[in-house]
C-alpha cells in the first residue's frame, strides 16, 4: 500500500447495496461475477468506496457505448 494513501473505511454489503440501490443478493452476484471487488474480514464482506466508484464508472462506459453522439 502506498504510504501517502489514507485508508478508506470499507462499507459492509448492506450499506453498499443501499448506496447502489440494489439488493444484497444482486451485490453478491456482482462480486461473484468479478464485476465488483470485495474482501472478507472476520466472516463479513466489505467493499471499498473506491471499488464502488470504479464499478459505477465502468457501468457508465458500458452503457454509453454505441450511443450516437
- Strand order through the sheet with 11-12: 11-12, 44-47, 39-41
pTM over 0.85: no
**Mean pLDDT per segment of 10 residues, for the chain of length 69 residues?**
69 96 97 96 95 94 72
Note the pLDDT of residue 8. 83
Note the pLDDT of residue 68. 65
Note the pLDDT of residue 47. 97
Closest CA to 16 of 65, 2, 35: 35
Note the pLDDT of residue 63. 83
Amino acid at each position: 500500500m502506498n504510504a501517502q494513501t489514507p485508508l478508506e473505511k470499507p462499507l459492509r454489503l448492506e450499506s453498499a447495496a443501499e448506496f447502489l440501490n440494489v439488493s444484497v443478493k444482486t451485490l453478491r452476484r456482482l462480486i461473484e461475477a468479478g464485476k465488483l471487488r470485495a474482501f472478507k474480514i472476520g466472516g463479513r464482506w466489505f467493499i471499498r468506496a473506491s471499488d464502488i466508484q470504479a464499478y459505477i464508472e465502468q457501468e457508465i462506459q458500458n452503457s454509453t457505448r454505441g450511443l450516437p453522439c
